[in-house]
Structure 1
Amino acid sequence: MSGMLVLGLMFVAWYGTNIFFNIYNKQLFKVFPFPLTTTNIQFFIGSCLSMVFWATGIVKLPKIDMALVRSIYPLAIINVLGNVLTNVSLGHVAVSFTHTVKAMEPFFSVIFSAMFLGDVPPVPVLLTLIPIVGGVVIASLTEATFNWTGFLSAIFSNMTFQSRNVLSKKLMIKKGAVDNMNLFQIITIMSFCMLLPVSTMVEGGAALLTPESLAKLGLNEAAREQMFMRLLSAGICFHSYQQLSYMILSRVAPVTHSIGNCVKRVVVIVASLIAFQNPISMQNAVGTGIALFGVFLYSQAKRKYKDKGDVKPQAS
């Protein structure tokens, strides 16, 4: 199987698992409004899957020492923040709006690629960021579910994830001590350990998922079973799409990964609108369209810039 075909299938699986994650997660937050606990359960499920991969030999267990843990520690912190902020946003606004805001990823990708990798794009590439940002602003003005908590959570989630993507790419290039699959699995386990005391302290009894705490939410036995199934399904999809994200990141440049992520936003937005039948105004749709068109222009400008850089000088 060719490398391009494998990469294409990875993108399809990445998009599919992300769609189901967002749908299950939004359904979950309607009855279980605890983003810290939900995020950590997802980390726990991911940690269990990671252990299974290592125990069965599907993924070779890497040599883990304190030097490696210290180098990955910042990525784990960023991973916790990014995922918690995404879940906070999903709990407060429509899935489609969260992902419209997160279409600004190229903007933050450019900033962090310049900061950490020294990759400063030319002016034409920078100009394509204007419709991306402008489109998000237009869409935000008429969003029916808009609130500042959901909006700002999505913005800061963008910032944390883009810094994580660039930093993890830098780690893979410089360290070479751990492959991308093991990197993500170690980060997931570290994230679970970091967030567990925080989620328990902040959200208290809800974090324990006791019958008493769930009864206070007005959930009967059938509703609790459905909630647990959504927790499990969302957790599996969560780990799968994040794992695929890291696998793809190891094969492509950070900006290419960001563009693919923005295309994924389109698919998720459409799927969520169909699943939840959220109302969308003409201005909201136009703003989203402008932002996504800006992403297209950005990808074309980046490709043109790269093509120019790949041309070898001709002998005179």
Structure 2
Amino acid sequence: MATNGRFFTIGLVTSWYSSNIGVLLLNKYLLSNYGFKYPIFLTMCHMTACSLLSYVAIAWLKMVPMQTIRSRVQFFKISALSLVFCVSVVFGNISLRFLPVSFNQAIGATTPFFTAVFAYLMTLKKEAWLTYFTLVPVVTGVVIASGGEPSFHLFGFLMCIAATAARALKSVLQGILLSSEGEKLNSMNLLLYMAPIAVVFLLPATLIMEKNVVGITIALARDDFRIVWYLLFNSALAYFVNLTNFLVTKHTSALTLQVLGNAKGAVAVVVSILIFKNPVSVTGMLGYSLTVCGVILYSEAKKRSK
């Protein structure tokens, strides 16, 4: 039984890694290498898949009990979270058009810095000085990596910073808005309600900012039908990222999840360099390594301060 449980956990972690890195690399391939330059539409495809598959997983397969929205206020709180979530995903996808995955992951590793800043600004929550001190190598590493990045692109860099900040803001807002026992939702139910709201936000944005994207996609499909399979697989994979994240969280400890999360970014960097063969510098890799070390120290400092 213990061996079966160990293999089950290893399988979950492998699925989590594979789906996370897979959707990241496929996004990069579509938006940069393949030339499908429509990040908002791509995000809308992701959210549509998350809406449908979340409903199937919860309402039909009963993977978790369905939690209902209890008030109009709770609905507006979830809508606010959905909007911030949309911004983080769209900006992240836009950045992938201009930046290699390795540099994108280096910037994304600064999420703890933005989380600490937003937590202080919005809740006046202070951490121990040691915790703040560990954020210095996190930011310093990205500064060094930026200076040594051969494929540095200012607009892509700003979009990635904005996506990272929005991701941190969403986690802080979630803790504030859904803090009461009556309003707490597990991540699968939260996605069930956030995803369709995100589609509502993204549809007008797509129609205004990416005009005739549906017609262009149909025209692309006539020339190369693989684009349809790419979009379908990528969208399903985006849901699988959320599903496996929930399952790994459920079946491992918080500390294990932190360690695995830190290692996942490094694995994504290595895999992306092997696949896309984007140029990297020693300075850039040293900067990213410093950031990862800072994140590990930050996690350790947070654990000790509790």
Alignment TM class, shorter chain as reference: 0.7 to 0.9
Tell me if structure 2 keeps the 8 A contact 1:95–1:269.
Answer: yes
Deviation at 1:100, TM superposition (A): 0.7
Aligned CA distance change for structure 1 residues 39 and 148 (closer, same or farther; 3 Å): same
Residues 189-218 of structure 1 deviation map (CA, whole Å, 9 limit, x = unaligned): 110111111111110111445534x3xxxx
2:171 aligns with one of 161, 165, 170: 165
Amino acid at match of 1:114: Y
Q: Indicate whether 1:35 and 2:39 are aligned.
A: yes
Q: Indicate whether 1:301 and 2:306 are aligned.
A: no
The DSSP-based 3-state class of the residue aligned with 2:37 is coil
Q: Indicate whether 1:15 and 2:10 are aligned.
A: no
Tell me if structure 2 keeps the 8 A contact 1:199–1:207.
Answer: no
Tell me if structure 2 keeps the 8 A contact 1:180–1:247.
Answer: no
Tell me if structure 2 keeps the 8 A contact 1:200–1:207.
Answer: no
Deviation at 1:9, TM superposition (A): 5.9
Q: Indicate whether 1:90 and 2:92 are aligned.
A: no
The DSSP-based 3-state class of the residue aligned with 2:151 is coil
Which shifted more, 75-84 or 119-128? Answer: 119-128
Amino acid at match of 1:299: S
Q: Aligned ranges for residues 1-316 of structure 1 at < 5 Å?
A: 10-29=12-31, 30=33, 31-58=35-62, 59-64=64-69, 65-116=71-122, 118-177=124-183, 178-212=185-219, 214=220, 221=223, 224-245=224-245, 261-306=261-306
CA distance in 1, matches of 2:159, 2:13: 26
The DSSP-based 3-state class of the residue aligned with 2:212 is helix
CA distance in 2, matches of 1:112, 1:199: 29
Give the length in aligned residue pairs: 298
CA distance in 2, matches of 1:12, 1:172: 30
Deviation at 1:138, TM superposition (A): 0.8
Amino acid at match of 2:271: A
Deviation at 1:258, TM superposition (A): 6.7
Amino acid at match of 2:279: P
Aligned CA distance change for structure 1 residues 153 and 260 (closer, same or farther; 3 Å): farther
Aligned CA distance change for structure 1 residues 158 and 42 (closer, same or farther; 3 Å): same
Amino acid at match of 1:40: M
Identity of aligned residues (%): 27
Deviation at 1:255, TM superposition (A): 10
The DSSP-based 3-state class of the residue aligned with 1:173 is coil
CA-atom RMSD, angstroms? 2.9
What runs of 5+ residues in structure 2 fail to find an aligned partner?
Answer: none
Deviation at 1:153, TM superposition (A): 0.9
Aligned CA distance change for structure 1 residues 49 and 119 (closer, same or farther; 3 Å): same
Aligned CA distance change for structure 1 residues 152 and 249 (closer, same or farther; 3 Å): farther
Tell me if structure 2 keeps the 8 A contact 1:20–1:237.
Answer: yes
Deviation at 1:249, TM superposition (A): 6.7
TM normalised by structure 1 equals 0.83
Aligned CA distance change for structure 1 residues 169 and 254 (closer, same or farther; 3 Å): farther
CA distance in 2, matches of 1:225, 1:243: 28
Deviation at 1:135, TM superposition (A): 0.8
Aligned CA distance change for structure 1 residues 130 and 157 (closer, same or farther; 3 Å): same
TM normalised by structure 2 equals 0.86
CA distance in 2, matches of 1:286, 1:130: 15
Deviation at 1:233, TM superposition (A): 1.7
Which shifted more, 167-176 or 87-96? Answer: 167-176
CA distance in 2, matches of 1:251, 1:120: 30
Tell me if structure 2 keeps the 8 A contact 1:86–1:157.
Answer: yes
- For residue 314 of structure 1, what is the aligned residue in structure 2? none
